[in-house]
């Protein structure tokens, strides 16, 4: 059993990490975000009620958990206060006891949002000021949360602490920590499809830099991958479907951006890409989400290679030129017609759905520990418990 778990996106974000974090948070003591800002959008559905969180960790909906916004984030104070108010209006308790913001996180200023809107259109950013805020951080001209609250009488003040000390002390006390990643591996500034990426590290290294902990404190790396692929914004996408099948998946999977409302681009599952993500993150196990969305398709394809000119490429590349000029090589599997959203056990899934999951596992050479068949907490099939938290309370 793992004590501390990192949840990392294996594709272009929107893999369904929010739901999985919310599901795992039940057995965690601490939920800590380590990268990004309000470019993220985690949609959680509990008891038919939908909550979208952009900045606050997804553990906030559980009572008695500590939620941390780490130093690796960029924080828009207005958005944060608005999110706190919204949650409170919906009866969720948010206090300086259950939400803590790092004094070393950086502030997104008005000028960053303006600049993002004006200069970064071609990248299809979320226009929330994320990139310009990180640019100022790297240029040593940024504003840290601590400096901001010292200069402004901000309602943020009571939430701000030294989260590095805090999280290390919680880990030392054997508390169970869930590290919540935003975006996905292919949007990582170092390991993604640069320049069509976000401006932080969405990969597992970001856990250490974005929270100030050592790598050995991460016991289990869960890679979250959707049973197909989606991408918002610009950039290469070899398995993109521009046909009726893509539209069908978009509609059934409700693939519209939770931050911007933009329709997401849709494509088949790309095994090369996810194998690469598994490598970069040292992924111990995979959470495969939205399998239910693929019900009703006669044939389902998995990309197992790229044809570039006359060559077949078997390893993923972040070379945008190659990705843009490659044809995917597919393996075709038979689909299933049954609605699987009420299935409670893996071996009760239709044979072809089981085969699809097993084939992904084989291609990625990483075991699948969870399959998600719907947005609700109870639509979650557990295949392997050893990568997850012990459900007993921590001492
Ligand atoms: P930025 O993070 O706003 O700078 O946007 C950079 C790229 O990352 C754009 O293609 C965005 O659409 C994408 N992006 C940023 N955050 C998310 C996310 O949480 N999910 C999916 N895509 C995202």
Predicted pLDDT of residue 121: 87
Kindly indicate the confidence band of residue 275, based on its pLDDT and cuts at 50, 70 and 90: very high
The residue with tokens 């111990």 is 284
The residue with tokens 């994320």 is 130
CB 204 within 8 A of CB 221: yes
pLDDT over threshold 80, residue 14: yes
Q: Which residues line ligand 1 (CB under 6 A)?
A: 12-14, 39-41, 123-126, 128, 130-131, 182-183, 187, 196, 198-199, 232-233
pTM: 0.96
Instruction: Return the beta strands (E) in 309-358 as ranges.
Output: 311-313, 326-334
Rounded to an integer, the average pLDDT of 255-272 is 91
Instruction: Return the beta strands (E) in the chain as ranges.
Output: 4-9, 30-33, 42-46, 49-53, 66-69, 74-75, 99-102, 106-107, 160-161, 177-180, 220-226, 229-231, 265-267, 269-270, 285-289, 299-308, 311-313, 326-334, 368-372, 380-382
Q: Whose CA is nearest to atom 11 of ligand 1?
A: 125
CB 171 within 8 A of CB 217: yes
Ligand 1 atom closest to the Cα of residue 187 is 8
Residue 235 CA to ligand 1 center (angstroms) comes to: 11
Which residue out of 12, 195, 198 has the highest number of ligand 1 atoms within 8 Å of its CB and is therefore the one to mutate?
A: 198
Task: Read off the pLDDT of residues 321-350 as tens digits, 9 standing for 90 and up.
Answer: 999 999 999 999 999 999 999 999 999 999
Predicted pLDDT of residue 370: 98
Domain boundaries, the chain: 4-387
Q: For the domain bounded by 4-387, which CATH number is listed?
A: 3.90.170.10
Task: Read off the pLDDT of residues 215-239 as tens digits, 9 standing for 90 and up.
Answer: 999 999 999 999 999 999 899 999 9
């Amino acid at each position: 059993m793992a004590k501390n778990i990192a949840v990392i996106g294996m594709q272009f974000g929107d893999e369904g990490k929010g739901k999985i974090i919310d599901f795992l948070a039940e057995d965690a003591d601490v939920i800590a975000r380590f990268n990004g800002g309000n470019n993220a959008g985690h949609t959680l559905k509990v008891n038919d009620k939908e909550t979208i969180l952009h900045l606050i960790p997804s553990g906030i909906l559980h009572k008695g958990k500590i939620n941390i916004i780490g130093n690796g984030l960029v924080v828009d104070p207005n958005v944060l206060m608005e999110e706190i108010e919204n949650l409170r209006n919906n009866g969720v308790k948010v206090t300086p006891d259950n939400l803590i913001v790092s004094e070393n996180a950086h502030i997104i200023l008005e000028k960053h949002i303006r600049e993002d809107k004006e200069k970064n259109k071609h990248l299809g950013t979320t226009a929330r000021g994320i990139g310009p805020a990180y640019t100022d951080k790297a240029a040593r001209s940024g504003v840290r949360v601590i400096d901001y609250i010292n200069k402004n009488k901000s309602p943020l003040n009571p939430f701000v602490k030294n989260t590095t000390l805090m999280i290390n002390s919680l880990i030392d006390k054997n508390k169970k920590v869930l590290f919540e990643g935003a975006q996905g591996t292919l949007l990582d500034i170092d390991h993604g499809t640069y320049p069509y990426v976000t401006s932080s590290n969405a990969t597992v290294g970001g856990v250490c830099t974005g929270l100030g902990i050592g790598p050995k404190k991460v016991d289990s790396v869960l890679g979250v991958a959707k049973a197909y692929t989606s991408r918002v914004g610009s950039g290469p996408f070899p398995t993109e479907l521009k046909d009726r099948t893509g539209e069908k998946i978009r509609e059934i999977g409700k693939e519209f951006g939770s931050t911007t409302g933009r329709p997401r681009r849709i494509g088949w599952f790309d095994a090369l890409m996810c194998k690469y993500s598994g490598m970069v993150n040292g992924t111990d196990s995979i959470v495969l989400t939205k399998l239910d969305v693929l019900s009703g398709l006669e044939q389902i394809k998995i990309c197992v290679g790229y044809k570039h000119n006359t060559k077949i490429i078997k390893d993923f590349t972040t070379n945008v030129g190659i990705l843009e000029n490659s044809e995917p090589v597919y393996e075709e599997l038979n689909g299933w017609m049954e609605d699987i959203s009420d299935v409670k056990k893996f071996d009760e899934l239709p044979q072809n759905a089981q085969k699809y999951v097993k084939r992904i596992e084989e291609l990625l050479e990483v075991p699948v520990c969870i399959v998600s068949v719907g947005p609700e907490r109870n639509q979650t099939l557990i295949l392997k418990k050893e990568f997850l938290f012990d459900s007993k309370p921590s001492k």
